[in-house]
Chains A and B, each alone.
Chain A
């Protein structure tokens, strides 16, 4: 078993693909966080409506204007002529009237100034463009390409600029006049009063590199996407989907893309951005959105009215999985991106693995799979990534070693199995789980006594760990070994039905043993013992992530809690949506901050409430976070668990429980070895050890080694001795004062590096 704990070398290079490309894409595609908001998806010009509304809601009309100018050279005309397909898809419309986006566009144009100069100095382009025609499409193409610094000549029958605009759009002069400065700004050569026909076009076009014409100059139908004819000249297509103004400006935008491709000597079909109406699978949760009446547009919104209307925008985005998961919030990445980064991390052969901490900070609790509208399974990805890193010897042992050794402790020194006295065969075995043994030994003891008395058929006992720790750590082989051990042990007990005291043990063991039930199932059946606690108060239930997909367990717990006399207040985040306490996935060993936030998250709905748990780890984590949490079995048996026991205390509790059971149930005499020496630890030293994950047993072993070999350094200045001892992969140092056989410990520290002279 020890070779599981051999440190790897950073100089061995192994690689294994985490997922095949298709599987990665399939998993990632479930997260639609990056899909566009519905307004943007519906807009053929792809206006970033959400950003525009955000800007306006903050009074930044100039930014709103620049977003409009980005999609079209004539935003003023657009704002008055667009029928607003975005309004039809706006999610606000499912609550009441949709956001009046075109009205806000009009206000943006009116309440902001024509920008003085474009921010970026663009290089003049060489290719010359001739545009023929006096319709909105041709004028927009000419202006747009001129803005892009192409030398453009526009031939028009119109006599002057206003005449030209009047031919373009059936709008009031006053509106068109406001658009004039943008036309002037475009630095475009306009040949007014030119009679246009195909002949003229044929004659002139020889002088130019690029040609665009109005529909009445077209010789043949053009490609519906690129708007190019067979000679790559551009004309509007006959098919119209939108009103004249929107369609013309949309066509002009597509023409500009085609021209850019032609200039790059590419097929104009190539590499086009998303154009026209697109589909979006973005999810917007409307449950949290208060209703807000639309602001009426009387002529034109004032600044204030526009701001008020823009504030009605929900700013659609999907954050469903974020709401309940402190881990995702801490790493500030939604699952699609997180998955990609974790995937890339597993692919790094040499160099820094920046996402190790991320993949090891997920509690593998499965909440996101429930809260995500598409069932995204982040847990499976993080677990698979851990296994991958272990398999390729890139997962540092340091990350999970402490927890793994703790599991082995549970299944060796802390392990106990025995049949109920007086029974040759037992129908059941009670398996409380390593955390119950570590946190609530008295409760476990009482529970077992009760089961022996009241559960017919004989109940054996097994104190140990279900091995989930190894699975969470991504250590497959170790997991299989531990499961094999448990199987052998169960067999010795006659393969009884397992009564699990912990929902995670239950779901883990269920995969390997034919019949596993919960302690709650038994108590529901046989009833509560005499003298069980009475709880005349309102409580909330903190459901365990180990029972997320197990409504029977969730309901049994509720029934038991009701029988205890309590009134259950059901929260919005209970049952299958419950957050993890931070013990799951070994987060509390890897990322204490995230683990605390997870515990905090569990009680966020009502931090003052009493929370009934049915997993002892939850009870411990919530209590540690300062909440009022109690395990249902504490109430049933009227025994209190330890409040936030330290790492060493958890081990001591397991040993004490084992010894007490051996003595009182199986009447075995326990030989208490008398320690050779005594020691004392201040509260400060204890806390230091806790933070540094150093056990009292490590300390004792180190002092014992010193007594054997006398290796230490004496510091004259403060009259202390410091000794060192290596246990497994860790060097422990203890600074102390010695008086006969008594040690006053001053400090304890450790490191994983080895050190020697050279």
Chain B
């Protein structure tokens, strides 16, 4: 994740809606944090309540592997 800002690309047209606010999620600035390391990323975010969506492939893929690397630091 370091040195890479975007590692999840929103599908064109966006098919995700915030269940609570009823608003379409947009590409927004988010940040992952772990063991006091921060990684800025772009993820689908609700413009109203700020809910950030982390898709499964991302969580079980890059997020997991970066976690593992940091855990051995």
Contacts and interface: CB of A to CB of B under 8 A. Distances in A.
Interface of A: 7-11, 350-354, 356, 396, 398-399, 692, 709-717, 721-722, 724, 731, 733, 735, 747, 749-758
A758 B17 CA distance: 20
Contacts of B37: 10-11
A713 B59 contact: no
Contacts of A396: 35, 71-72
Contacts of B45: 757
Given A714-B16, A724-B51, A755-B43, 10 more contacts: A8-B35, A692-B60, A712-B19, A713-B44, A713-B46, A735-B56, A753-B33, A754-B32, A756-B52, A758-B30
B59 A351 contact: no
B60 to A, nearest CB: 6
A370 to B, nearest CB: 32
Interface string B47-67: 001111110100110011011
Nearest to B58: A751
B72 to A, nearest CB: 5
Contacts of B35: 7-10, 396
A724 B19 CA distance: 12
Contact of A11 (B32, B36, B53): B36
B30 A755 contact: yes
A131 to B, nearest CB: 58
B71 A753 contact: no
B29 to A, nearest CB: 5
A189 to B, nearest CB: 61
B30 A749 contact: no
A420 to B, nearest CB: 46
B10 to A, nearest CB: 12
16 contacts: A10-B70, A351-B73, A353-B73, A354-B72, A711-B19, A711-B51, A713-B25, A713-B51, A714-B16, A714-B19, A733-B56, A735-B56, A749-B60, A751-B63, A752-B34, A753-B63
Contacts of A724: 51, 54
Counting from the closest, the 7 A-B pairs by CB-CB distance are A396-B71, A9-B36, A712-B19, A10-B73, A753-B34, A716-B15, A714-B17
Interface of B: 15-20, 25, 28-37, 40, 43-46, 49-54, 56, 59-60, 63-64, 66-67, 69-73
B28 A721 contact: no
B30 A398 contact: no
A590 to B, nearest CB: 11
A735 B66 CA distance: 23
Most buried by A among B35, B56, B67, B69: B35
Contact of B16 (A7, A11, A715): A715
B59 A749 contact: yes
A749 B56 contact: yes
Given A10-B37, A396-B71, A733-B56, A713 B17 contact: yes
Given A714-B17, A733-B56, A758 B71 contact: no
A751 B61 CA distance: 10
A758 B72 contact: no
B31 A722 contact: no
Most buried by A among B17, B19, B36, B66: B19
A350 B73 CA distance: 7
Given A751-B64, A751-B67, A755-B43, A710 B72 contact: no
Nearest to B50: A757
A749 B34 CA distance: 17
Given A749-B59, A755-B52, A757-B50, A711 B73 contact: no
Contacts of B40: 758
Nearest to B53: A713
Contacts of A747: 56
A758 B53 CA distance: 14
B19 A754 contact: no
Most buried by B among A398, A712, A747, A749: A749
A447 B10 CA distance: 59
Nearest to B47: A757
A752 B66 CA distance: 10
Contacts of B64: 751
A691 to B, nearest CB: 10
Nearest to B49: A711
B12 to A, nearest CB: 13
Given A714-B16, A757-B28, A758-B29, A751 B71 contact: no
A353 B71 CA distance: 9
A710 B20 contact: yes
Contacts of B17: 713-714, 716
A756 B69 CA distance: 21
A756 B53 CA distance: 10
A408 B45 CA distance: 36
Given A713-B51, A714-B19, A715-B16, A352 B73 contact: yes
